[in-house]
Structure 1
Amino acid sequence: MLHIHFSSEDLGRVRLAPQPDPVWELLLSLHALGGSPDHIVFGPWRAETLTGPDPSLSLLLQLAPPRGYSPDFLTPPAGADLESTLEAVMSVDRARLRAELTLLAAQRGETPWMRRVAGGEAAAMRELGAAMYRYHRRVLSRSWHRIRAVVEAERAMRVMDFFEGGVERLLGNIHPLARWEPPVLKVAYPVRQDLFLEGRGLLLIPSYFCWGRPVTLLDDALDPVLVYPANRDLQLLTEDPAASDPAALSRLLGRTRAAVLVEVAASDGTTGGGIARRLGMSAASASEHAAVLREAGLILSRRVANTVWHTATPLGRALAEGGRPVKAHHISGGVLPRPSTKSPRADRCAV
């Protein structure tokens, strides 16, 4: 059992990650690749991904076994972008590298490349950063819009929990295997672990590739995080053969209104003036189209000072990207299958 201990100060410092975390999704997707080929969600994606030899993948799988411990240094606090986060991975302290990779070697043995990484060799660290970058670009980036849509939908639900019942309702609804028993959040876990927040608060990270139960870092001196499964409807990443083509959106909404929706969905937030400039229309026309899309539940609009900002809802983003929600597979009781707990250090998501 994982026990996360809150103070009153910590309850005021609970945060929800604003978007998918690239390195957590990278690490947990590697776990999925090492899992069962018949997995209900990851099986088709796994088969599509493992289509040929990949030197980057073979290196990364040495550090990310599908069961048990994976080094904490692989998931540093989120940076402004993937490149800055990978820079943090490559510049991690050597003493920490040795300690964490010693734990990993005790679980599964050590390879020559792992020894080079553990020693902090510059060339080995560059290889690690390059492998993570290539893997993310080759494997995850092509499905990132779907990963983002699943995470954003889950985040919207948790924000609603907070609005309706505060942080205690938010914590209570994180996952069926998590129970809020003030002042402790108890999470079903294969090992006993206590995390005392001590005023640092807690960052909640919904993750597409997290499966079965929430997880946290092993080292409680690091910034506290709880990564938890976001894919409650079991959405697949593989292409839906019945997905609509981009022209279908124009037939549904009209060419101009479809272009407005695509423009909003492509940004993390844009103004009516921005839409008008990029699409070559009047500000009044952009405002009119945005109002219709808002009334249809496809975008959200909020006023900041004298400016109105528009963002796409998960439904609006799915329509703009030509996707269609995949029919969910139902599991009795609504709880995702619980992974094996045979590993003595299964402190990451298992698949």
Structure 2
Amino acid sequence: MLRIHFTGQDLGLTRVAAGPVPMWETMLSLHSLRQQNQGLVPARWRRSVGPKLPRSTGLLTALVPTRGYFPDFLTPADPLYDLDEGLDAVLSTPRARLRRDLSLLAGGRRLPPWTRSLADGEPDAVTLLGRAVRGYHEAAIAPYWERIRAQVDHERLRVSTPMLGGGTEALLSALPPCLRWRRPVLEADYPVDRDLRLDGRGLLLIPSFFCWRTSITLLHHDRTPVLVYPVQHRLLEEGPAAQGRSSLAKLLGPTRAAVLEAAEGRCTTGELAQRVGILISSASQHATVLRNAGLLTSTRVSNTVVHSLTPLGSQLLYRGSVPLTLAEPGR
């Protein structure tokens, strides 16, 4: 678990990123590229991008393992919303930081020989990294960028709305179930046990499409600390997908079908109600019917109930439909 400790000053300085951050989405997508257990959304994306990936992608997978630490310098602390700016910041990393981050990475695994040249800041190695990032981004991220942006924008609106009436603590309370606000600490599901003390620097929250299940933060916080967390993925309804949703609504009823769709990606009863636009009591009743039908599972976490699709629910939801996601462009 990650525990993020706030002061009153930190609450005043906490904010949400203005949109998806290209370097974070690019690097985190390398996890989805190789992990097979993240669900239907990344599986469809993998099938779509796999044949298009440049050979240089292997350079990036050497730097970004499927689990554990990857170099901080690949995701600059300052939120840069343009790929060129983000890549320029990466390629301008001081040699001391390159050596620090790559030494930490090498401590847990064996690195290819070219990374020694990168750690020394040799121009050829730095140029090689830049070309690899750009080639991978063009093949795997750029074709889906507007869809990624739409999902991140939806999440920004979802968490910002409570903040208008309740301030930063209301925003923190509206974050997904993997994040829990227990004043003055924000608890986050995390692969290791760690404490992060903000000490008056505030926190930058970065909703991310390619962040899955648990949040991510930098090991070194030279500026404002950041916390990257997963958006709640939704489905795109167009073409054949719209027909599939129409059939599902006829089968289950429009509200219950909407509840089933809203449960994609795990959410609480309150989040179900918010997504569908119904009362919490109504959302609970519909979830009970869907659970009894074998389409949802419900798990109690502290004082809340978290719902998720069963394999049967996923099959019913996705039959004849296309995840928002990362369906291949133009299809």
Q: TM-score, normalised by structure 1?
A: 0.66
Distance in structure 2 (CA, Å) of the matches to 1:62 and 1:117: 12
Deviation at 1:39, TM superposition (A): 3.2
| Aligned match of 1:70 | 70
| Aligned match of 2:57 | 57
Q: Is the 8 A contact 2:25 2:208 kept in 1?
A: yes
Deviation at 1:104, TM superposition (A): 1.1
SS of the counterpart of 1:108? coil
| Aligned match of 1:7 | 7
| Aligned match of 1:206 | 207
Aligned partner letter, 2:202? G
Give the direction of change, closer, same or farther, for the CA distance of 1:29–1:335 in structure 2 (3 Å limit).
Answer: farther
- Residue by residue over 1:253-295, the C-alpha shift from the partner in whole angstroms, topping out at 9 and shown as x without a partner, is xxxxxxxxxxxxxxxxxxxxxxxxxxxxxxxxxxxxxxxxxxx
- Structure 1 residues 311-326: aligned runs within 5 Å: none
Aligned partner letter, 1:79? L
Deviation at 1:3, TM superposition (A): 1.1
- Residue by residue over 1:103-144, the C-alpha shift from the partner in whole angstroms, topping out at 9 and shown as x without a partner, is 111222110122221121111111111211222122211111
Distance in structure 1 (CA, Å) of the matches to 2:308 and 2:119: 36
Distance in structure 1 (CA, Å) of the matches to 2:227 and 2:308: 18
| Aligned match of 2:172 | 171
Give the direction of change, closer, same or farther, for the CA distance of 1:45–1:114 in structure 2 (3 Å limit).
Answer: same
Distance in structure 2 (CA, Å) of the matches to 1:130 and 1:60: 10
Deviation at 1:330, TM superposition (A): 5.8
Greater shift in the superposed pair: 103-112 or 12-21: 103-112
Gaps of 5+ in 2: 243-294, 300-305, 310-331
| Aligned match of 1:83 | 84
Deviation at 1:335, TM superposition (A): 5.8
Give the direction of change, closer, same or farther, for the CA distance of 1:80–1:41 in structure 2 (3 Å limit).
Answer: closer
- Structure 1 residues 89-104: aligned runs within 5 Å: 89-104=90-105
Greater shift in the superposed pair: 129-138 or 201-210: 129-138
| Aligned match of 1:181 | 182
Give the direction of change, closer, same or farther, for the CA distance of 1:331–1:84 in structure 2 (3 Å limit).
Answer: farther
Give the direction of change, closer, same or farther, for the CA distance of 1:19–1:117 in structure 2 (3 Å limit).
Answer: same
SS of the counterpart of 1:61? helix
| Aligned match of 1:229 | 230
Give the direction of change, closer, same or farther, for the CA distance of 1:188–1:58 in structure 2 (3 Å limit).
Answer: same
Q: Is the 8 A contact 2:87 2:130 kept in 1?
A: yes
Greater shift in the superposed pair: 71-80 or 147-156: 71-80
Question: What count of residue pairs does the alignment treat as equivalent?
Answer: 250
SS of the counterpart of 2:51? coil
Q: Is the 8 A contact 2:33 2:46 kept in 1?
A: yes
| Aligned match of 2:110 | 109
- Residue by residue over 1:14-43, the C-alpha shift from the partner in whole angstroms, topping out at 9 and shown as x without a partner, is 111111110100011011101117732211
Distance in structure 1 (CA, Å) of the matches to 2:51 and 2:122: 31
Deviation at 1:241, TM superposition (A): 6.0
SS of the counterpart of 2:63? coil
Q: Is the 8 A contact 2:19 2:81 kept in 1?
A: no
Aligned partner letter, 1:85? G
Q: Is the 8 A contact 1:195 1:220 kept in 2?
A: no
SS of the counterpart of 1:3? strand
SS of the counterpart of 2:62? coil
Aligned partner letter, 1:55? R
| Aligned match of 2:16 | 16
Distance in structure 2 (CA, Å) of the matches to 1:47 and 1:191: 31
SS of the counterpart of 2:186? strand
| Aligned match of 1:125 | 126
Aligned partner letter, 1:97? L
Distance in structure 2 (CA, Å) of the matches to 1:30 and 1:42: 11
Distance in structure 1 (CA, Å) of the matches to 2:38 and 2:194: 31
Distance in structure 2 (CA, Å) of the matches to 1:232 and 1:80: 21
In angstroms, what is the RMSD of aligned CA positions? 2.3
| Aligned match of 1:144 | 145
SS of the counterpart of 2:93? coil
- Residue by residue over 1:21-79, the C-alpha shift from the partner in whole angstroms, topping out at 9 and shown as x without a partner, is 10100011011101117732211111211115622311111111111111110000223
For the pair shown, which has the larger CA radius of gyration, 1 or 2? 1
SS of the counterpart of 1:50? helix
| Aligned match of 2:198 | 197
Q: Is the 8 A contact 1:176 1:335 kept in 2?
A: no
Give the direction of change, closer, same or farther, for the CA distance of 1:83–1:106 in structure 2 (3 Å limit).
Answer: same
Give the direction of change, closer, same or farther, for the CA distance of 1:149–1:179 in structure 2 (3 Å limit).
Answer: same
- Structure 1 residues 337-348: aligned runs within 5 Å: none
Distance in structure 2 (CA, Å) of the matches to 1:109 and 1:137: 28
| Aligned match of 1:323 | none
Give the direction of change, closer, same or farther, for the CA distance of 1:15–1:331 in structure 2 (3 Å limit).
Answer: farther
Q: Is the 8 A contact 2:53 2:136 kept in 1?
A: no
Q: Is the 8 A contact 2:54 2:135 kept in 1?
A: no
1:218 aligns with 2:213: no
Give the direction of change, closer, same or farther, for the CA distance of 1:103–1:330 in structure 2 (3 Å limit).
Answer: farther
1:25 aligns with 2:25: yes
Greater shift in the superposed pair: 17-26 or 136-145: 136-145
